[in-house]
Amino acid sequence: MSSRPTIKDLAKQAGVSVATVDRVLNNRSSVREATAQRVLLAAEDIGYHAAGLLKARFQESKPRKRVVFLLQRSSDYFYQTLGEALLRAADMQRDYQLQAQVQFMDEVAPAYIAEQLRHFGATADAIALVALDHHSINKEIESLISQGKPVISLISGLSSTDRTGHVGLDSRKAGRSAAWAIANLCRQPGKVGILLGSHRYLSQEIAEISFISYFREFAPGFTLLQPVLNLDDDRLAGEATAQLLADHPNLVGIYSAGGGVNGMIQTLRSEASNRDIVTVCNELMPSTREALRDGVVNLVIATPVERLAQEAAALVSSAFSARGNRGLMSVLLPADLYISENI
């Protein structure tokens, strides 16, 4: 049996002196963050018995900041997955010890979201949120920013101020990708339905505009129907899909640019099994994965959740720093595209 790694073994692995390892272990004097991180990684690599203590010491040396992530719909698979990813990403931040909390908002009324901002903003050092664009929400965001508390919009951007950061999909490319898929997969031109949660979500509005723009430029033979709003609700999306099917026998495509996807899929299964309708929707989750396999959905445009979470945590962390304005950046991510052959 090999002997347990010693402090000398750790120092050699990390490329530092034994005295430096001792300072990191016992927090005797300041050690550069990069050096402490190198010692920690070396301890984990060789299985050093005090690796846990080293990690604790490293964490204790970082300033603490409380961050609240305000997400939507606690029952939604996508937001559950995003919440978990955000907590992991916050825990991995190196410059700050982010004490992260995920709070789900099951109401989307602007007054409710504004109240949540006031409530959590009173004790948080930073807020990151998913919200529609509304003056009452923007007013609260501007108040937080005036107090020196960074605000980051997630998924959908906000028009409140150019001092907020943002992380989300490139909605223009998402909308045009959806249009390309429908225009090229449909066997013949016809009518195309568009489902939206709300134009108040700027990401959905941009995706819709870009979707329409592509058809106007490259596929003018299709007829795009007026968008139908469903408030990202499964029941309303199901009813809207049923109405599209009933009103338009020559419907050849549907683009769901927002939520309510489960309702749409359920209606397509029950009422359009014998119709050839090319369907594009958002986010890879159990229901959309199954719909891809069954041919009910042709393309899923998905948010790269882990990368979005990492970028969000990095923006929050850098917003606390005085070393520049990275915390105010807008980060637009390319979508992950899924078809039945690559899930």
Share of the chain above pLDDT 90, in %: 73
What's the chain's average pLDDT? 91
Q: What share of the chain is helix, strand, coil (3-state, %, to 5)?
A: 50, 20, 35
Share of the chain above pLDDT 70, in %: 93
Q: According to the model, what pLDDT value does residue 324 have?
A: 43
Could you tell me which residue, 54 or 158, shows the higher pLDDT? 158
Is the pLDDT reported for residue 334 higher than 90?
Answer: yes
Model confidence over 119-154: pLDDT tens digits?
A: 999 999 999 999 999 999 999 999 999 999 999 999
DSSP 48-117: -TTHHHHHHHHHHTSPEEEEEEEEE-TT-HHHHHHHHHHHHHHHT-SSSEEEEEEEEES---HHHHHHHH
**What gap in Å lies between CA 326 and CA 116, rounded to an integer?**
26
Give φ, ψ of 193 to 5 degrees: -90, 150
Is the pLDDT reported for residue 202 higher than 80?
Answer: yes
Model confidence over 154-197: pLDDT tens digits?
A: 999 998 766 789 999 999 999 999 999 999 999 999 999 999 99
Is the pLDDT reported for residue 325 higher than 50?
Answer: no
Model confidence over 242-280: pLDDT tens digits?
A: 999 999 999 999 999 999 999 999 999 999 999 999 999
pTM to 2 decimals?
0.83
